[in-house]
Chains A and B, each alone.
Chain A
Amino acid sequence: MSSTQQVLGFRRPVAAYESRRPPWRIRLQGSDTTWAIAFLIPYVAIFVAFVVYPVVFGLWMGSNPALYDLLFSDPRYLTTAINTLLFVAIGVNVKMFLAFLLSGFFMNRSWWVRSLLVIYLLPWALPGLVVFTSIHFMLVTQWGLLDSLWRAVTGNDGPLFLVSTWMAMTANIVAYIWKWMPFWTLIFLAARMSIPQDIYDAAEIDGASGYRRLIYVTFPLLANIYLICTLLSCVWTLGDFPTVYFVSSGAPARTTDVLATYGFHEAFDFGYPNLGVAAMMSALPLLIPLVILLMRRVRATGVQL
């Protein structure tokens, strides 16, 4: 039964009541549809002016096929594309898996775990600019905090993190995990808390406890949310800018750029905005299937974003 039918009982007296009022009152109130459209106008205006127009304009900027010849002939672009794939694939999956495990740890409601959760969530609230700059300074020279700690523990000089491509890329991924893992832990924690205790009780009677409970009870129940969160996080991480821009800043010699920073440099440092847009658009073959998959999953499972 639809909600319209449900309120049908209310509808009739409304009509009767309204018919008794002077006609000018009714006209003044207007129909619901008129009101609804009036209420929607601000959002639709913003959407058209600042989403549709930039998207169309961007598509137009990146529509020249010659741009892509230019783009693919840049050896740095290939490095960038590989970096982006690694960044998304490793960063998102490691982050999600650890967040999932840690959400189990934070289910423990003893006082110290609860206070730890408050501190643990801090990276989520802090500005990316600030924390990524701080992480950059931890790594950047022999005198950064990590090298100082290394020296204090081992007595030798530590590695120069941002001189090696692999270490710089690892640093980007670790910093990314540091910033975003707390947020997803919270999401999984909320999802775990909504699992009724009876299910665990039943599983307990059937002999599932410890890791078996994790694998056979918790994970299947959270699989949908896990998948949707992973897809969503993949989409966002594909366009992640501040992590790489601040942590490694592309060092050494722009070998750790990702698409967002590459496009940024092309557009604003070298003055080729169209090439920058083309670089971003080259992510579309990956982005569009991810978004379609995500929207379909959201619709099929009813999980609310």
Chain B
Amino acid sequence: MSIALGSSPKPTPPPVEGGGWGEGLRAARTPAPNPLPQGEGESRIRLRYRRRRLFSKAAAIGLGVFLLIWTLLPVYNMLLIALDNDADEFTGSIWPPDPDFSSFASVWNEDYWLMEHFWHQFGNSIYLGVATMVLTVLIGSLASFALSRLRLRKGWIVTDFALLTYVLPTAFLAIPFVQIMHRYGLSDSLWAVIAAMVTFATPYAILILHQYGKLIPMELDESAKVDGASPLQIYLRIYLPLMAPALVAVGVYALLLAWNEYLYQYLLLSSTRNMTVAVAINQFFDSDEAPWNYMMAIAVIYSLPPIAIYFGLRRFMVAGLTLGGVKG
């Protein structure tokens, strides 16, 4: 066993990954049988440990700084462009030369022709997100209740198809989807997008709720049944309240999916009154003028709700993932 270098000479408290060399150091201070002469050998080992600890600490901090810059650089770039008051040219500077919030003020007051319906479109985005959230939670919880609590025979067929839908890349369905929406008479309607988003969010909801539902003992349902409760009452009075954390996770997922998705909104919404902010942002690319600072100001405002949801409901989002369920 090659003890001397990496590992500690005897069973020590488990080191924490990345920063755990301190434990090894402490253990090395009191080696019971020391094969090396006292003094010089011990200090050499100690030096080695200290160097190693310093090195790993420095590496961790270096990695941390790199990750911070890596993550925030595109976000910083958004602010850099949005805070620039010259609309047409990039400044070529790495910080805003004279930052002002005039572009945000313009967006707020809707005083540019590409964003004269900005708040209406923002409302559309919220409407889309909330409707998707409510419908996904409702349909998903009903379906998962039927599948996991009522023990429907052949229920696995539905679960399997849900899994298959969940795995499918949504962009591949876009072209036929648009054609079909025209047939349904839902072209240029927010409800077409809501239908698409609910379709893609419910499989995740069913899988997550199915998982989480296993934590709730069946005996609760049984005893409610003994007391004469119908399945609808069990669903409303027992299932929904107990599933609340998972329902929040699913709702947040559906809301963010609808908010962050772009392709279907772009394809299904065309008129200025009906479009969402995501589609409105893209209009800047098609226009002859290019006030990029306005566009980035809109983009920053558009990013605020997901950021707020992320910071506020992070726990539920992460819980939704650790329950299983991997979809971005």
Contacts and interface: CB of A to CB of B under 8 A. Distances in A.
Interface of A: 3-4, 7, 10, 13-14, 17, 21, 29-30, 32-33, 35-40, 42-44, 46-47, 49-51, 53-55, 57-58, 61, 102, 104-105, 107-110, 112-113, 116, 118-131, 133-135, 137-138, 141-145, 147-149, 151-152, 178-180, 182-184, 186-187, 190, 197, 200-201, 204-205, 207-210, 212, 229, 232, 235-242, 260, 263-264, 267-268, 273, 276-277, 280, 283, 287, 291, 294-295, 298, 303-305
A17 B295 CA distance: 67
Interface string B69-80: 011111111101
Nearest to A187: B326
Interface string B113-143: 0000000000000000000000000111011
Nearest to B177: A54
B218 interface: yes
B230 A29 contact: yes
A42 B142 contact: yes
B303 A43 contact: no
B179 interface: yes
B168 to A, nearest CB: 8
A212 B140 CA distance: 44
Interface in B131-160: 138-140, 142-143, 145-147, 150-153, 155, 158, 160
Contacts of A102: 67
Interface residues of B, number: 122
Given A209-B6, A239-B170, A273-B175, 18 more contacts: A40-B147, A43-B139, A43-B202, A47-B162, A50-B180, A108-B16, A108-B18, A129-B299, A134-B78, A135-B74, A137-B292, A137-B296, A186-B318, A197-B14, A204-B8, A204-B12, A295-B164, A304-B325
A35 B11 contact: no
Contacts of A50: 177, 180, 195-196, 199
B94 to A, nearest CB: 5
12 contacts: A42-B138, A42-B139, A46-B139, A51-B173, A54-B176, A107-B17, A108-B60, A119-B71, A143-B91, A186-B321, A264-B171, A295-B163
B207 interface: yes
Q: For chain A, what secondary structure do more than half of its interface residues adopt (helix, strand, loop), or is it mixed?
A: helix
B314 A40 contact: no
A148 B220 CA distance: 64
B303 A130 contact: yes
Nearest to B256: A125
Interface of B: 1-3, 6-8, 11-12, 14-19, 60, 63-64, 67-68, 70-78, 80-81, 89-94, 138-140, 142-143, 145-147, 150-153, 155, 158, 160-177, 179-180, 184, 195-196, 198-199, 202, 206-207, 211, 218-219, 222-223, 225-226, 228, 230-232, 235, 256, 259-260, 262-263, 267, 278, 281-282, 292, 295-296, 299-300, 302-303, 306-307, 309-311, 314, 317-318, 321-328
